[in-house]
Amino acid sequence: MYGEGKYIESIHKLLDGLHPEVRKKYGDPAGRVFDIPHGSVIIHMELTDDTFSVSIDYLRLPSDERRQPMMRQVLDLNARKLMLTHFVCRDNILRLEYRCPLADTHPYKLYSLIGNICFVTNRYDDEFISKFGAERVTKPQTRPYGEENVLRLHTALQTTGRYALDTVKEFVSERNHNGAWAVISTCFLQFLYYARPKGMLYLQVDKTLTDLDDDLPTSEQVIRAVAALEELMSRSPEELAKDMYYTEILSSDNNASSLPIIKDNLEKSYEDATTAIEHGNYERATVRLLHSIYRLYHHYDMQEDVNTVLVEALSSASGKPIEIGGKILYLTVKNIMENRLEVG
């Protein structure tokens, strides 16, 4: 459609691909004006016969001394994180804006543009509010998880967290700091997988994972991560519930998966697991594979055929002796590497 000069129709189809009901739920009857919720913001799009524009009333700026350091960080986002769009300040409101001729709305460009907008606005609003005292302009459209679901997730955190802490303690006593690193990292990746937290809770867990990749010695990385996990586990269900809710999402922060991408991400851990199993070390193989699998889920929206296989494998391996559970995971990953989507 874009190649044929049908620019508005092309944009409509792109929006349909991002969210099948977005035009029906959030657009005007003519398909020219859209107010689309994403996370805690409303993305305003307008299509005229000649131009495409997008804007977001993001945050109300603080009026005290915190305004200046916040604006320095905003300038850094303009320079290093945003693509095409930029933040401007109008009437004490921080706005995200972009405009271009309608003929310059190639689908790949708009797809990247929308993804970048969604990532940046989702990533920094809670930080600006918590750190600098900024205020939301629009009320987030959220739906809480519900008490029963939060209690279930709190119990899951206690279970996975206690297992991780006990295993890390054992590995550290054996001076297996790399194994301890993988176990504590996997625990946080698991929490993001099953809990899907939002707000500051997500940012704190994500920062812990980022800190596990810094330049400190592995043993020190593990010590910091253990402290972060103990703090997380000390939170009550009520404290967790503040950052556990559903939101409308236009574009995922994760990348789309494909079998070649999945295989590329699993290759190194699969090779290490193969060597470990050849030497009868199912524990090492299992630790490596679990970390690699949950890291995949953290970075990618898993396609359904691979997701079905991995979920079945993880469920089958759960609670089994390490030789049995590890073999299930290993053979499943082996099948994926050989283009056979079936549980081992």
pLDDT tens digit string along 162-211?
999 999 999 999 999 999 999 999 999 999 999 999 989 999 999 999 99
Q: If you average pLDDT over residues 212-231, what whole number do you get?
A: 94
Q: Residue 178 has what pLDDT?
A: 95
Residue 24, pLDDT > 90, answer yes
Q: What percentage of the chain has pLDDT greater than the value 90?
A: 90
| Tokens, residue 238 | 């009520």
Q: Which residues of 148-181 are buried (b: 16+ CB within 10 A; e: fewer)?
A: eebeebbeebeebbeebbebbeebbeeebbebbb
pLDDT, average across residues 208-218: 92
Q: pLDDT tens digits for 70-114? A: 999 999 999 999 999 999 999 999 999 999 999 999 999 999 999
* pLDDT score of 145: 95
Mark 65-93 as b/e (b = at least 16 C-beta within 10 Å). eebeebbeebeebeeeebeebebeeeeee
- The DSSP code for 12 is H
159 pLDDT above the threshold of 90: yes
Q: What is the mean pLDDT of residues 306-314?
A: 96
Alpha carbons within 13 A on the beta-carbon side of 9: 6
DSSP state of 250: S
How many whole angstroms separate alpha carbon 63 and alpha carbon 135?
11
pLDDT at 23: 93
Which pLDDT value is given to residue 224? 96
User: 29-68, pLDDT tens digit by residue?
Assistant: 999 999 999 988 999 999 999 999 999 999 999 989 999 9
Tens digits of residue pLDDT in 247-297:
988 888 888 899 999 999 999 999 999 999 999 999 999 999 999 999 999
**pLDDT value of position 256:** 86
- Mean pLDDT over 217-241 rounds to 96
pLDDT of residue 140: 84
